[in-house]
Amino acid sequence: MGAPFTDIEIAAAPFDPEAAHADFRRRVDGAGAIVAFTGLVRGKTGDGEDVSRLTLQHYPGFTEKEITRIVSKASVRWPLVGSRIIHRTGDLESGEPIVFVATASIHRRAAFEAADFLMDYLKADAPFWKKETRGDNAMWIEPRAEDLIDKARWRDSEGDANARDQRDS
Amino acid sequence: MGAPFTDIEIAAAPFDPEAAHADFRRRVDGAGAIVAFTGLVRGKTGDGEDVSRLTLQHYPGFTEKEITRIVSKASVRWPLVGSRIIHRTGDLESGEPIVFVATASIHRRAAFEAADFLMDYLKADAPFWKKETRGDNAMWIEPRAEDLIDKARWRDSEGDANARDQRDS
Amino acid sequence: MARILFFGRLSDFAEAIEAPLPDGVRDTDALTAWLSRENARLGEALARPGVRVIVNNAFISAPLELSDTDEIAFTSPLSGG
Amino acid sequence: MARILFFGRLSDFAEAIEAPLPDGVRDTDALTAWLSRENARLGEALARPGVRVIVNNAFISAPLELSDTDEIAFTSPLSGG
């Protein structure tokens, strides 16, 4: 297994998660496990209110750099064959894919944990700014306590996670 | 959100994980998160020996029933919009998809945990018998201690997992 | 007619059987003993640890009475999905 | 030419600026003060908690000296991916 490859893409237009998965699968020769997370825009907020549109802003250059840093953390921690991240920006409608994270490893636990980790870190640390439009009302979304808790899950188990990677898929 | 749907398929011929994912995504209206696991046949064993073929046997009727039971456990434990499982039988070559597990939920933690749980239970409990052919040598694979440990992860955290489901995606 | 099936390693030594239960065979232990007498290599495989019996789609944990409408499966340890 | 960018809530009140640093502006605090004087609504938004400053692609944690070749981004709390 050589160095893991990483594809990071900021997409201003709708993307096709299945095409990304197919492309990723072709590239992960030797992997036994692929985990793919697809996030979809929900038409309702946590309180059940309708969201008519979601607008994502990113900071070109810096956002890619920060995501690269997050992926590097995962690559150090788990023996990945490769990873792929696609993140939308711009205006999104309900049901549209907003994020795609795929990881491949020889063993399934590493692929699961790395994808889960990447999503937690993206949610907490990736430089995106979101505006929800509800009817005539637009509001910027600020980070939620839950996202920081999700990220904190990975803090105190570094040794543990490494030990588990060594097992068979 | 209505009752979760479940698709379980035993495939005697190669299947297309991306087609399954696309079909699944079309059906999970209202979900915010899809996690898909794809298991691929590895050309090497844990000891680095070449495997020229993997043959999977199942017990028609009983295997489906047991997988249905495993999925029911996950559906009780996590608020899923739907789940889909495809499992190969017959002769498989290196690189071919052997198992596909997809889960969809409103929130990402539930989708991740349910997919991880399903794979652990499938690995430990699903009625499949595997024969590895290495050169002229064919041998039946027996369950590995690791698979039973993976499954045991889910035993003592029932309350915990439920509490975590309530959080936003 | 009872159906007797073999999975995993056991399927290397025997094909499925669709027939009335042999004379005098009234439970799973008696069936195991009869199969082992008829087919020595199968008998050896049936004696290995981890062999489990499924009757009418349920694993059994103790010898079970059998009738001619039952489906009985003998399985070596399953490899998992 | 310095580049001054605004993200999130702050981008509702100001467009990107590509210009030499204003006279007398030598660090990020001075730039924040200058922007707040020029644009009262932006000033209000910059005073809210959680605003962070990125200079040349790195978050800063203390006021930083600036030059005319710097890229300075003012950001409201990020929403995450």
Query: What is the band of B2 on the pLDDT scale with cuts at 50, 70, 90?
Result: low
Q: Is B87 on the interface with C (CB under 8 A)?
A: yes
At residue A161, does pLDDT exceed 70?
Answer: no
The more confidently predicted of residues A141 and B80 is: B80
Q: Helical H runs in chain B?
A: 17-27, 62-77, 108-125, 145-152, 158-165
Contact C76 B129 (CB under 8 A): yes
pLDDT of residue A165 exceeding 70, the answer is no
Whether the pLDDT of residue B19 is over 60: the answer is yes
Phi then psi dihedrals of residue B34, to 5 deg = -125, 130
Chain A residues in contact with D80 by the CB 8 A cut-off are: 122-126, 128, 143, 147
Task: Give A2's pLDDT tier (boundaries 50, 70, 90).
Answer: low
Strands D52-55, D17-19: pairing kind: unpaired
Mean pLDDT score of chain A:
88
pLDDT classification of B161: cutoffs 50, 70, 90: very low
pLDDT, residue A142, reads: 81
Q: With 90 as the cut, is the pLDDT of residue B136 above it?
A: no
Mean pLDDT by 10 residues, chain D (81 residues): 97 97 96 97 95 97 96 94 79
Cα D71 to Cα C79: distance, rounded to the nearest angstrom: 58
**Cα of B147 to nearest chain C Cα, Å:** 9
pTM over 0.80: yes
Question: What confidence score (pLDDT) does residue B164 get?
Answer: 38
Residue that wins the pLDDT comparison between B82 and A149: B82
Looking at residue D55, its pLDDT comes to 98
Q: Is the pLDDT of residue A105 over 60?
A: yes
B169 pLDDT above the threshold of 60: no
pLDDT tens for residues C33-63? 999 999 999 999 999 999 999 999 999 999 9
The chains found to touch A (3+ Cβ pairs under 8 angstroms) are B, D
> Would you report the helix, strand and coil content of chain D in percent, each value rounded to 5?
30, 25, 45
pLDDT single digits (tens) A64-96: 999 999 999 999 999 999 999 999 999 999 999
Whether C54 and B62 lie within 8 Å, measured CB to CB: yes
Under 8 Å between Cβ of B123 and B147: yes
Q: How many residues are listed for chain C in this entry?
A: 81
Taking an 8 Å cut-off on Cβ atoms, the answer to whether D73 and A59 are in contact is yes
Q: Dig out the tokens for C21 from the structure.
A: 């239960």
For residues C79 and B39, what is the distance between their CA atoms, to the nearest angstrom?
15
Encode A42-103 in three state secondary structure: CCECCCCCECCEEEEEECCCHHHHHHHHHHHHHHHHCCEEEEEEEEECEEECCCCEEEEEEE
Cβ C18 vs Cβ C72: under 8 Å: no
Supply angle C-alpha A169, B116, C80, rounded to 5: 50
- Smallest Cα distance from B41 to chain A, Å: 6
Percent of chain A with pLDDT over 70: 89
Closest CA to C51 of C35, C69, C67: C35
B145 pLDDT higher than 70:
yes
Query: Can you tell me the distance from the alpha carbon of B28 to that of A84, in angstroms, rounded to the nearest whole number?
Result: 23
State ipTM.
0.90
* pLDDT exceeds cutoff 70 at B159: no
pLDDT beyond 50 at B162: no
Q: A-chain residues within 8 Å CB-CB of D10? A: none
Q: Is the pLDDT of residue B27 over 90?
A: yes
Residue A158 pLDDT exceeds 50: no
- Label residue A43 by pLDDT band (50, 70, 90): confident
What pLDDT is attached to residue B147? 74
Question: Cα-Cα-Cα-Cα dihedral of A67, A111, B66, B79, to 10°?
Answer: -20
B51 CB neighbours in chain A (<8 A) are: none
Q: Which residues in chain B touch residue A143, judged by CB atoms under 8 angstroms apart?
A: none
